[in-house]
Amino acid sequence: MSPPGSCGDPPSKGGTTMALFMDSHAIDGGVKASDVAQAHLADLQTQDRYGVRYLRYWVDEGAGRIFCLVDAPDAEAAIRVHREAHGLVADSIHRVVEGF
């Protein structure tokens, strides 16, 4: 059993094994949390077309850093969602394993 707030084991979506990815964006000049919230909503509206689930995000407004946690069949599917939803493609994306 996973602890509260955890994502648990990667689910299978239509026979496709899902994995967790963390992406990172660097925005010159900083970023507003409200703008990131709007971009995240666009991700949520787009994600089903690619078999992806954007789960959470974190923002450091002053440093212009955004981190997104996504459940996806592969990194490219996660990238396609950002590209189509709002064009803000991550600078890096890494497969991650959830810890406690």
Which residue matches tokens 């212009």? 64
Q: What does the pLDDT look like over 56-99, one tens digit per residue?
A: 999 999 999 999 999 999 999 999 999 999 999 999 999 999 99
Nearest to 22 by CA among 55, 60, 64: 55
Cβ atoms 43, 81 nearer than 8 A: yes
Prediction pTM value? 0.81
CB 69 within 8 A of CB 55: yes
Query: Which domains, and CATH codes, for the chain?
Result: 17-96 (3.30.70.3090)
